[in-house]
Amino acid sequence: MNQDHTIFDEEFEAFNTPRRRDLMPKWLVVYMWIIIFFGLFMICYAGWMVTFVGTGDALVSNSPDEAAYRVGNWIGAILPGILFVLMGELVRSERKLAIRFNWIVAILWVAVIMLMVFSKGIRGLLVGMFVPIFLPYWIGLFMIQRNWKKARGNE
């Protein structure tokens, strides 16, 4: 007698897709954690900068409005940290739109780099000094993008 019958139909078997976290290679998981910790470090540095950096800074002393300079400097330091944490955390939590969010950040970053190069010349490339760090991460996400959308995880 043939025992191939099951109580589950074919739709149940088709729904059993892999988790998104299982699609990522180990190096990409390590990279994701590095990006999260790097973002947290940048946020802590921004908090330290506001708390402990004195008013002896030459740029602050020459600025007509010291408070505006400090707030702008703090925002410029904390915003990338928040973006880096979000880039890694959305992937870690297996959100469906995590890879799309990373693409949006990459496109915005390239646009800012181009704007800085056009306005400041070659000095504007300093804004893009972290891009080589993120290129392998974005390439790894691009390789699993199609399967990421089909896999299950937190929506």
Confidence (pTM): 0.74
Q: Give first-to-last CA distance, the chain, whole Å.
A: 44
pLDDT digits (tens, 9 = 90+) for 36-83: 999 999 899 888 877 666 555 555 556 677 677 777 778 888 888 999
Look at residue 16 and tell me if it is in a domain: no
With 60 as the cut, is the pLDDT of residue 28 above it? yes
Q: Look up residue 137 and give its amino acid.
A: Y
134 found inside a domain: yes
Domain with 54 in it:
24-150
In percent, the amount of the chain with pLDDT more than 70 equals 77
Does residue 19 lie in a domain region? no
Residue 33 falls inside a structural domain? yes
For the chain, how many structural domains are there in total?
Answer: 1
Residue 5 inside a domain? The answer is no
SS3 content of the chain, % helix, strand, coil (to 5): 75, 0, 20
Q: Is residue 39 part of a domain?
A: yes
Is residue 43 included in any domain, yes or no? yes
CB 112 within 8 A of CB 127: yes
Residue 60 lies in a domain: yes
Distances (CA, A) of 153 to 18, 85, 141, 143: 9, 19, 16, 18
